[in-house]
Amino acid sequence: MAPDPNQFLGLPPAELECADAVILPLPVEKTVSYGTGTSGGPRAILDASLQLETFDEETLVDFAAAPRLRTLPPISAEGSIEDCLGRIQQHVRPLRGKFLLALGGEHSVTYGLVMGLAADPAEKMGTGSEPMGEGFGLSHSGEVPVPIFSDAPAHLTIVQIDAHADLADDLQGRHWSHGTVMRRLCEQGCRLLQIGVRSLTRSEYDFATGGPRIATFYAHRLAEQWAEVLAALRGLEGDVYLTIDVDGLDPSVIPSTGTPQPNGLCWGQMMDVLRILMTESPCRLIGADVVEFVPSPTPPGCDIIAARLVAKVLAWRWAGKRSPICGRGRDAGCPAPPARIRTEFREFREFRGHNTEL
Ligand SMILES: [Mn+2]
The pLDDT, as a whole number, for residue 118 is 87
Structural domains of the chain, count:
1
Residue 182 is assigned to a structural domain of this protein: yes
The pocket of ion ligand 1, defined by CB under 5 A, consists of: 107, 162, 164, 166, 245
Query: What separation in Å is there between the alpha carbon of 164 and the centre of ligand 1?
Result: 5
Query: What separation in Å is there between the alpha carbon of 85 and the centre of ligand 1?
Result: 16
- Whole-model pTM: value is 0.85
The pLDDT, as a whole number, for residue 327 is 43
Query: What separation in Å is there between the alpha carbon of 66 and the centre of ligand 1?
Result: 31
Rounded Cα gap, residues 334 and 74, in angstroms:
37
Q: Which amino acid is at 146?
A: V
Residue 19 is assigned to a structural domain of this protein: yes
Residue 7 is assigned to a structural domain of this protein: no
Q: What CATH number corresponds to the domain at position 305?
A: 3.40.800.10
Give me the residues of the chain with pLDDT under 50, please.
121-151, 326-358
Residue 117 is assigned to a structural domain of this protein: yes
Query: What separation in Å is there between the alpha carbon of 165 and the centre of ligand 1?
Result: 7
The pLDDT, as a whole number, for residue 337 is 38
Helix/strand/coil for 229: helix
Note down the domain range covering 137: 12-356
Report how far apart the first and last C-alpha atoms of the chain are (Å, whole number): 57
The pLDDT, as a whole number, for residue 349 is 42
Query: What separation in Å is there between the alpha carbon of 218 and the centre of ligand 1?
Result: 14
Transcribe 85-110 into DSSP letters: HHHHHHHHGGGBTBEEEEEESSTTHH
The pLDDT, as a whole number, for residue 141 is 37
Residue 248 is assigned to a structural domain of this protein: yes
Among residues 40, 39, 41, 52, the alpha carbon closest in space to that of 11 is found at 52
Residue 28 is assigned to a structural domain of this protein: yes
Rounded Cα gap, residues 353 and 335, in angstroms:
31
DSSP label at residue 50: T
Rounded Cα gap, residues 104 and 80, in angstroms:
16
The pLDDT, as a whole number, for residue 120 is 64
Residue 3 is assigned to a structural domain of this protein: no
